[in-house]
Amino acid sequence: MTSADRAERDGHETPETTSALEWVVAGIGALLVMFAVGYMVHFAMTRPEGPPAVVLEVTAVSRTSAGYLVRFKATNTGHSTGAGIVVTGELSRDGEAVEESEMTLDYLPQDSERQGGLFFTEDPAAHELVLRAQGYAEP
């Protein structure tokens, strides 16, 4: 008794052969996967290494019940990811620090941006406002 007879007797159908269209689609899929892997390897090998480069930009200042909120955008233009990025904002008048606020961005991947905010009791419009990224950790 052949395997086809046995399969028919057990209630199973014999498998059909793979069509040419299925082989073409499988080949295209394999090419796409190889292209994607090749691109990622090329990207990893040719991208220069370096620390995160955090650029801070004030996007809005608004009054709150507790004082003022300075919203900002942090953009990482560097070639690596930064974690635990400490951002400080300082209000000063005539070179004297009036108030300082600090927050931490948990994670800032390369070529990405995150939004954040700093709270102040003094009006930022009446002072000089300076935002700085103080440090980061490698994830």
User: Residue 62 pairs with which residues in a beta bridge?
Assistant: 69
Q: What is the mean pLDDT of residues 53-65?
A: 95
Quick: pLDDT tens for 67-81: 999 999 999 999 889
pLDDT at 44: 77
The larger pLDDT score, comparing residue 47 to residue 41, is at: 41
CATH architecture of 54-137: Sandwich (2.60)
pLDDT, tens digit (0-9, with 9 covering 90-100), for 17-40: 888 899 999 999 999 999 999 998
* Domain residue extents for the chain: 3-46, 54-137
Residue 87: name the closest of 68, 100, 69 by CA: 100
Mean residue pLDDT across the chain: 89
2 CB-near residues (< 8 Å, 6+ apart): none
